[in-house]
A and B are shown apart, each in its own frame.
Chain A
Amino acid sequence: GESVGLHLPTLSVQEGDNSIINCAYSNSASDYFIWYKQESGKGPQFIIDIRSNMDKRQGQRVTVLLNKTVKHLSLQIAATQPGDSAVYFCAENDSNTGTASKLTFGTGTRLQVTL
């Protein structure tokens, strides 16, 4: 059949508010997770990562939460700024495959920051 474009869910947030972007992963064996930010015309930019032996990790203005029971990952951005507008991808990896370099990406979420 004809392939269709991925429909990116969009999250619209007012400047200064907190953003929460969610991601469901499929492989229960995945033990390493990364969030990337991709701006138009650019490659994905690393934001934050977390291993499966943790359930929370904080960076500068960002927090990643991992719930292995329901295979759910979230990215929280505090005090969202216009420069945060981008597409956000979660990615997972099962290091038991022998390499940490075969990432499986989610479909992405578009974050729109309104003034």
Chain B
Amino acid sequence: KAGVTQTPRYLIKTRGQQVTLSCSPISGHRSVSWYQQTPGQGLQFLFEYFSETQRNKGNFPGRFSGRQFSNSRSEMNVSTLELGDSALYLCASSLHETQYFGPGTRLLVL
């Protein structure tokens, strides 16, 4: 069974721009969660989607948003990028409790 895939793997943007990241979960998994990983803050939960609905949300500003499609694929969007948004963005999918992570999208904001 294929694992979680994320695209793109690397991205460079400038301040003020917006970005959309994509995540395809493991086949059959309906829950998709997003995390931000930085050297300063570690791994932090952004939000979780289940059956196209946001089920849980972390403590991030409204510039961070996401959605989930009927095939469980998910996207997250960051608008008005700031330098501090530079991070590894990780997507995880789960069938029950155990979350399986993708390789991440490394975003660099210049």
Contact = CB atoms under 8 A, between A and B. Distances in A.
Interface string A1-39: 001111000000000000000000000000010101000
Interface residues of A, number: 30
User: For chain B, which range describes its interface: under 10, 10 to 19, 20 to 34, or 35 or more residues?
Assistant: 20 to 34
Interface in B8-55: 31, 33, 35, 39-45, 48, 50, 55
A72 interface: no
B101 A99 contact: no
Chain B facing A: main interface SS: strand
Contacts of A89: 43
A100 B40 contact: no
B56 interface: yes
A95 interface: yes
Interface of B: 4, 31, 33, 35, 39-45, 48, 50, 55-56, 58, 90, 92, 94, 96-104
Interface of A: 3-6, 32, 34, 36, 41-46, 49, 89, 91, 93, 95, 97-108
